[in-house]
């Protein structure tokens, strides 16, 4: 290795350590390298173990006869698939609704911080948005169940009475313990991660592209539309998918806000229609035993597979953009 620069003043331990070229140092190096290498391998093993243990524990439910499954008090379905189906539907519906609300707002916030706010304020404002990520999910649950439901009640009453002819808005019943309220809470919870990644990509737009657009006489918005947004498209897509992964797996907020039901239903404002996998596990698990534990773990396995795929795709998109070193 060539050393072009003069030695920096770091060598408090250097010379003495170099003098003692004893066996203990070779040995120390091996142990240290081994520990590092082993930790890296351990991470791979843990990830594999998560999958393996879930499969092992879910096996009794996967192989059980439907008549055995019917012994479980809350199991009202023909088969395991018939039980998991509505749960997957509810999970995906709530997450997609949350995403539909969070993505436009996040892009707005990210643009505000990267291109609109005064330079000196931008970092502080970004920190304010990051604070949303620091709030524990159970607090979001309390906030959603005891504050947001009351605030959304007039909005949803109005929505149901004026747009009620569209089926998805029909049949609102107070209190607003419906999937739309749960999705609003989820949207707030995934705002920070989508914003953080989107902000990061927007800031990486080549300065020359922006200046070229401005030099051609574009207004600030035209510059953003022609230079910043096309450059950031894949970053925004992967940010949205990371947010989707979070929303799919979020438990407490849904558990505390949503009145559960197991239907394939598009009535967004009716309570008792939907339930998500995660919230269902948290609700049933403390009282479960035997085969019912196995059924719940099987649903958890489904959730793991879904979120793994979503996150995998999102990270693959990010990784393809080598120039983008991401906020995670």
Smaller CB separation from another protein, 119 or 134: 134
- Please, what is the minimum distance in Å from the beta carbon of residue 99 to another protein? 14
* Nearest CA among 284, 265, 285 for reference residue 273: 265
* Nearest CA among 63, 94, 61, 90 for reference residue 75: 61
- Please, what is the minimum distance in Å from the beta carbon of residue 171 to another protein? 25
- Please, what is the minimum distance in Å from the beta carbon of residue 234 to another protein? 16
DSSP state of 321: -
Q: How far apart are CA 260 and CA 108, in angstroms?
A: 33
Q: How far is CA 201 from the centre of its chain?
A: 18
- Please, what is the minimum distance in Å from the beta carbon of residue 105 to another protein? 5
Smaller CB separation from another protein, 89 or 140: 140
* Nearest CA among 274, 320, 247, 327 for reference residue 86: 274
- Please, what is the minimum distance in Å from the beta carbon of residue 230 to another protein? 16
Smaller CB separation from another protein, 252 or 267: 252
Smaller CB separation from another protein, 195 or 259: 195
Torsional class of 171: left (φ above 0), alpha (ψ -120 to 50), beta (otherwise): left
- Please, what is the minimum distance in Å from the beta carbon of residue 168 to another protein? 23
For 4, 29, 245, 303, the CA distances from 47, given in Å and listed in that order, are 42, 28, 17, 15
Smaller CB separation from another protein, 78 or 116: 116
Helix count and strand count (H, E) for the chain: 14, 0
Are 201 and 320 in contact, with CB atoms under 8 Å apart? Answer: no
∠ CA 106-107-109, rounded to 5°: 60
Smaller CB separation from another protein, 159 or 267: 159
- Please, what is the minimum distance in Å from the beta carbon of residue 207 to another protein? 20
Smaller CB separation from another protein, 141 or 267: 141
């Amino acid at each position: 290795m060539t050393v072009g620069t003069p030695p920096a003043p770091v060598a408090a331990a250097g010379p003495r350590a170099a003098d003692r070229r004893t066996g203990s140092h070779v040995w120390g190096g091996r142990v240290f390298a081994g520990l590092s290498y082993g930790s890296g391998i351990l991470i791979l093993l843990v990830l594999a173990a998560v999958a393996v243990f879930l499969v092992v524990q879910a096996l009794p439910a996967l192989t059980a006869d439907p008549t055995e499954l019917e012994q479980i008090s809350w199991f009202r379905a023909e088969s395991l698939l018939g039980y998991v189906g509505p749960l997957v539907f509810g999970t995906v519906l709530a997450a997609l609704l949350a995403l539909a609300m969070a993505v436009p707002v996040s892009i707005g916030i990210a643009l505000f911080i990267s291109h609109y706010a005064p330079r000196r304020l931008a970092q502080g404002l970004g920190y304010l948005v990051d604070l949303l990520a620091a709030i524990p999910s159970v607090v979001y649950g309390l906030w959603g169940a005891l504050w947001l439901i009351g605030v959304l009640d007039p909005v949803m009453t109005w929505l149901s009475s004026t747009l009620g002819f569209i089926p998805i808005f029909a049949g609102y019943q107070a209190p607003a313990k419906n999937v739309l309220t749960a999705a609003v809470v989820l949207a707030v919870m995934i705002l920070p991660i989508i914003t953080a990644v989107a902000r990061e990509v927007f800031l990486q737009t080549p300065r020359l592209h922006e200046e070229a657009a401005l030099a051609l006489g574009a207004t600030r918005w035209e510059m953003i539309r022609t230079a910043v947004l096309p450059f950031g498209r894949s970053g925004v897509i992967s940010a949205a998918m990371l947010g989707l992964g979070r929303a799919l797996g979020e438990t407490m907020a849904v558990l505390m806000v949503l009145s559960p039901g197991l239907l394939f239903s598009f009535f967004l404002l009716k309570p008792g229609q939907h339930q998500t996998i995660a919230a269902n596990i948290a609700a049933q698990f403390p009282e479960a035993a035997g085969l019912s534990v196995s059924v719940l773990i099987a649903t958890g396995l489904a959730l793991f597979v879904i979120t793994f795929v979503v996150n995998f795709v999102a990270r693959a998109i990010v990784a393809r953009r080598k120039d983008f070193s991401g906020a995670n």
